[in-house]
């Protein structure tokens, strides 16, 4: 089974078991009024078993976690760590049960002050230490794909719509975004992008 086939199998499993998995119910959102506007804090702590061959289940969480430099590229680490430092749940981590709960992917996002703008993913951190280990590569891509489902759920919960957008820049290659299902997005008035503006609709 190829990597794309494996990701397609994971996608099908998520769709068919969406009501049992209940990803949106695992996303806790709290908003607090402040002098300069509303601040949204997000918390996720979800253990997700998976019966599919090649997967051992995951834990998805927003608690800040150290990303080793030997495992993640510096650009992604910097973006993810900066988002996590604010303590508002702007980074989501995927821990793989089959790798002793190591982080296999992380995702940071931004909620713009403009309420008509969608949720924007600012970085996706993939493992870079797989070298010839195609199994680890498949795990990091699957982890990123899974994290994205929580971003979709969050976007809908806060009224930004289920589609998520991304400005694919830095060392995050556009090829990875396409592999995850992103496509080129139409121009968003007022948005200045550093790379390639892409979007993806949710599975549900």
| Number of C-beta neighbours around residue 82 at 10 A | 14
Taking only the tens place, the pLDDT of each residue in 5-52 is 889 999 999 999 999 999 999 999 998 876 666 789 999 999 999 999
Lowest mean pLDDT among 30-39, 78-87, 176-185, 193-202: 30-39
Taking only the tens place, the pLDDT of each residue in 51-83 is 999 899 999 999 999 999 999 999 899 999 999
Band of pLDDT at residue 127, cut at 50, 70 and 90: very high
Domains along the chain with CATH numbers: 3-200 (3.40.630.30)
The DSSP string of 89-106 is S-EEEEEEGGGTTEEEEE
Q: Find the DSSP H helices in 35-133.
A: 74-84
Q: Describe the chain by its helix, strand, coil percentages, rounded to 5.
A: 30, 30, 40
pLDDT at 3 over 70: no
In the predicted model, what is the mean pLDDT of residues 89-101?
97
pLDDT at 137 over 60: yes
């Amino acid at each position: 089974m190829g990597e794309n086939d494996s990701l397609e199998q994971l996608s099908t499993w998520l769709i068919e078991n969406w009501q049992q998995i209940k990803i949106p119910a695992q996303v806790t959102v709290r908003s607090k009024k402040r002098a300069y506007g509303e601040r949204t804090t997000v918390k996720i702590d979800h253990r997700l078993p998976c019966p599919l061959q090649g997967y051992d289940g995951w834990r998805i969480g927003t608690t800040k976690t150290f990303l080793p430099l030997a495992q993640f590229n510096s650009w992604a680490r910097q973006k993810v760590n900066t988002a996590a430092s604010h303590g508002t749940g702007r980074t989501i981590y995927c821990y793989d049960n089959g790798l002793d709960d190591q982080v296999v992917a992380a995702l940071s996002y931004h909620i713009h002050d403009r309420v008509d703008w969608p949720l924007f993913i600012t970085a996706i951190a993939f493992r870079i230490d797989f070298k010839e280990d195609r199994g680890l590569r498949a795990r990091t891509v699957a982890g990123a794909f899974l994290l994205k489902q929580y971003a979709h759920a969050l976007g809908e919960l806060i009224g930004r719509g289920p589609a998520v957008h991304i400005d694919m820049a830095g060392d995050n290659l556009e090829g990875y975004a396409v592999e995850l299902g992103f496509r080129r997005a139409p121009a968003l008035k007022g948005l200045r992008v550093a790379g390639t503006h892409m979007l993806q609709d949710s599975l549900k």
